[in-house]
């Protein structure tokens, strides 16, 4: 239902300027000229809505999930780029030049005035650059924070340049109704950036946290626990995640998303299970108790709260255990009547975290490189293994919650669907959405 609402809201936001433009009218032109304007209008609209699809707005990302939101953001940016690239070429054959006495509002001619054309061309080149940079982000090898800053500043510049181009070069954009529309929409887009980089940090500053402990779980995995300073903590559902900033100003870009591995029922302290990967996660061991931290959240829809299925299947690969541990802890702490089983896969035995707490009851440990005399499952988490753990009835009635490497989640999801699990009973969180 929420998904349907979001799709309709997106379509309305993106196509409304097209409808409004057609209503403000003007003398009819050839189809290819209208198509050129239409594509330009759509591209600008889509670019402005991209600001809201940044993953930081809970109504959207908590409704459909962060990974879906980000995928949609990426696909729509590429579509907008294609529309924008086609836009100038479709005007071919349209008379251009300075103002004509018979066409004072530029209904039938194209402007060649330098300033509106140059902003259009600059936005055109910047947009192509921004999309290429985003697609090649990992290959280009710059730091995540640098990329995020460049992406934000680039997007802001594109929006402002396009506003100028649309209002001063556009046949429709120069009409007062449309000028107001574009001004308002650009204002909303810029406002969304200000919300993320100014308002949210200000709120975070007033509700700070402090590192309570840092514990090594396995050679490359850590448990970081934070406690609220002078406030009651976070109101969250087991399985959700936050953007965590440890030891930096709340206005800094140095924040990373981490699933909460503690349970709401355990109290206001929040724990995270963090695997070493890059510049922040490799320094967890050096974080001192008492270091100030800021959180933005909770985000995400990986939650079994309020679900009606009689059982919950948890399938974790490596550090993907983090959100599922939060869910398992909450089920256990609240004495939830739903049955549950956990499959927890790793490569080697040293990577298994929280083994004592997880116990053996209802937990299937899987190792792809098991030691001698290993009593658990050996191999990868795949269809065969899932078939050995769950019955036909459980496939059709339980909720399946997964988090782990992309390949594991794809294989398990395909298998569950083959076994008749409806897709609305399969929940997952992806840690990487490139
Ligand atoms: C919803 C979600 C939940 C996650 N939960 C956990 C968890 O519980 N435990 C865990 O170990 N890891 C988790 N991750 C992954 C974790 O965020 C990255 O491993 C971490 O940010 C890497 O940061 P780094 O500075 O060490 O590495 P870097 O080298 O800076 O980044 C490595 C990669 O991590 C991702 N990343 C880094 N910073 C951000 C950011 N601010 N926003 C989005 N992606 C970023 C990017 O894909 C980047 O290429 C989660 C990711 C997401 C999206």
Q: How far is the CA of 196 from the centre of ligand 1 (A)?
A: 18
- Phi, psi dihedrals of residue 211, rounded to the nearest 5°: -70, 125
Share of the chain above pLDDT 90, in %: 74
Residue located nearest, by CA, to atom 10 of ligand 1: 274
Residue of higher predicted confidence among 218 and 138 = 218
Atom 38 (ligand 1) nearest CA? 256
Pairing of strands 311-317, 399-403: parallel
Lowest mean pLDDT among 47-51, 104-108, 310-314: 104-108
Task: Provide residues with CB under 6 Å of ligand 1.
Answer: 66, 138, 144, 241, 255-259, 272-275, 277-281, 319, 322, 429, 431-432, 434
Residue from 74, 281, 283 to probe ligand 1 pocket by mutation (most atoms less than 8 Å from CB) = 281
**Ligand 1: distance of its center to the CA of 433 in Å?**
10
Task: Residue 105: name the closest of 41, 19, 169 by CA.
Answer: 169
| d(CA 257, ligand 1 centre) in Å | 6
What does the alpha-carbon distance between residue 274 and residue 260 come to, in Å, rounded to a whole number? Answer: 10
Q: Which domains does the chain have, with CATH numbers?
A: 2-204 (1.20.120), 207-299 (2.40.30.10), 311-429 (3.40.50.80)
Mutational pocket test of ligand 1: of 137, 253, 271, 277, the residue with most ligand atoms within 8 Å of the beta carbon: 277
Q: What is the pLDDT of residue 304?
A: 96
Lowest mean pLDDT among 111-115, 185-189, 278-282: 111-115
- Please tell me which residue, 7 or 90, carries the higher pLDDT value: 7
Give me the sheet containing 426-429, strands edge to edge.
Answer: 377-378, 363-367, 339-346, 311-317, 399-403, 426-429
Distance separating alpha carbons of residues 317 and 323, to the nearest angstrom = 11
Q: Quote the ligand 1 centre to 176 CA distance (angstroms).
A: 45
Q: Distance, CA 158 to ligand 1 centroid (Å)?
A: 27
Q: What is the pLDDT of residue 137?
A: 82
Task: Tell me which of 258, 279, 296 to substitute to probe ligand 1's pocket, judged by most ligand atoms within 8 Å of the beta carbon.
Answer: 258
Average pLDDT over residues 187-216: 95
108 confidence band (pLDDT: 50, 70, 90): low
Ligand 1 atom 19: residue of nearest CA: 277
**pLDDT attached to residue 89:** 80
Say which residue, 68 or 384, is predicted with more confidence.
384
Ligand 1: which of 351, 431, 434 to mutate, judged by most atoms within 8 Å of the beta carbon?
A: 431
From the alpha carbon of 322, which atom of ligand 1 is closest? 8
By most ligand atoms within 8 Å of CB, the mutation choice from 145, 278, 283, 354 for ligand 1 is 278
| R_g of the chain computed on alpha carbons | 26
Which residue owns the Cα nearest ligand 1 atom 4? 258
Q: Which atom of ligand 1 is found nearest the CA of 257?
A: 17
Instruction: Label residue 59 by pLDDT band (50, 70, 90).
Output: confident
In three-state form (DSSP H/G/I as H, E/B as E, the rest C), the secondary structure along the chain is CHHHHHHHHHHHHHHHHHHHHHHHCCCCCCHHHHHHHHHHHHHHHHHHHHCCCCCCCHHHHHHHCHHHHHHHHHHHHHHHHHHHHHCCHHHCCCCEECCECCECCCCCCEECCHHHHHHHHHHHHHHHHHHHHHHCHHHHCCCHHHHHHHHHHHHHHHHHHHHHHHHHHCCCCCCHHHHHHHHHHHHHHHHHHHHHHHHHHHHHHHCCEEEEEEEEEECCEEEEEEEECCCCCCCCCCCCEEEEEECCCCCCCCCEEEECCCCHHHCCCEEEEEECCCCCHHHHHHCCCCCEEEEEEEECCCCCCCCCCCEEEEEEEHHHHHHHHHHHHHHHHCCCCCEEEEEEEECCHHHCCCHHHHCCCCEEEEECCCCCCCCCEECCCCHHHHHHHCCHHHHHHCEEEEECCHHHHHHHHHHHHHCCCCHHHEEEECCCCC
pLDDT band at 139 (very low <50, low <70, confident <90, very high): confident
Percentage of the chain with pLDDT > 70?
94
Apex CA 370: angle with CA 278 and CA 356, to 5°? 75
> pLDDT averaged over the chain?
91
- What's the start-to-end Cα distance of the chain, in Å? 27
Q: Edge-to-edge strand order for the sheet containing 270-275?
A: 256-259, 241-246, 292-299, 209-218, 221-228, 270-275
Q: Read off φ and ψ for residue 162, nearest 5 degrees.
A: -70, -35
In the reported structure, the alpha carbon of residue 274 is separated from the centroid of ligand 1 by a whole-number distance in angstroms of 9
**How confident is the model at residue 174, as a pLDDT?**
83
Chain centroid, CA 53 distance in Å: 8
């Amino acid at each position: 239902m929420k998904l349907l609402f979001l799709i309709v809201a997106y379509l309305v936001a993106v196509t409304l300027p097209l409808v409004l433009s057609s209503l403000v009218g003007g003398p009819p032109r050839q189809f290819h000229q209208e198509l050129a304007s239409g594509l330009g209008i759509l591209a600008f609209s889509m670019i402005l809505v991209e600001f809201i699809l940044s993953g930081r707005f809970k109504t959207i990302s908590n409704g459909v999930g962060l990974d879906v939101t980000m995928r949609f953001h990426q696909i729509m940016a590429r579509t907008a780029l294609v529309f924008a690239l086609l836009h100038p070429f479709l005007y071919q054959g349209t008379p251009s030049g300075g103002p004509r006495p018979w066409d004072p509002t530029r209904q039938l001619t194209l402007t060649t005035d330098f300033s509106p054309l140059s902003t259009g061309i600059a936005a055109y080149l910047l947009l192509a650059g921004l999309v290429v940079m985003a697609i090649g982000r990992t290959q280009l090898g710059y730091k995540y924070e640098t990329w995020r800053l460049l992406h934000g500043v680039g997007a802001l510049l594109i929006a402002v340049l396009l506003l100028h181009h649309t209002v001063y070069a556009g046949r429709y954009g120069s009409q007062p109704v449309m000028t107001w529309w574009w001004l308002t929409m650009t204002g909303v887009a810029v406002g969304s950036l200000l919300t993320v980089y100014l308002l949210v940090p200000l709120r975070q500053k007033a509700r700070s946290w402090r590192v309570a402990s840092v514990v090594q779980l396995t050679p490359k995995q850590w448990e970081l626990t934070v406690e609220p300073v002078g406030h009651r903590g976070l109101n969250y559902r087991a399985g959700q995640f936050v953007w965590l900033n440890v030891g930096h100003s709340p206005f800094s870009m140095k924040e990373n998303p981490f699933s909460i591995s503690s349970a709401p029922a355990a109290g206001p302290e929040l724990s995270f299970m963090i695997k070493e990967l890059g510049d922040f996660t490799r320094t967890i061991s050096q974080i001192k108790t008492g270091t100030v931290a800021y959180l933005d959240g909770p985000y995400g829809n990986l939650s079994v709260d309020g679900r009606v299925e009689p059982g919950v299947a948890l399938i974790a690969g490596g550090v993907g255990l983090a959100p599922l541990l939060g869910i398992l802890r909450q089920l256990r702490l609240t004495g939830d009547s739903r049955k549950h089983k956990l499959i927890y896969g790793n490569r080697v035995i040293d990577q298994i975290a929280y083994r004592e707490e997880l116990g053996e009851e209802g937990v299937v440990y899987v190792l792809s490189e098991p030691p001698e005399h290993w009593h658990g499952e050996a191999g990868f988490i795949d269809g065969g293994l899932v078939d050995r753990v769950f019955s036909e009835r459980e496939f059709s009635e339980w909720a399946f919650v997964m988090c782990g490497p992309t390949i594991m989640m794809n294989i398990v999801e395909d298998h569950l669907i083959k076994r008749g699990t409806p897709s609305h009973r399969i929940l997952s969180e992806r840690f990487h959405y490139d």
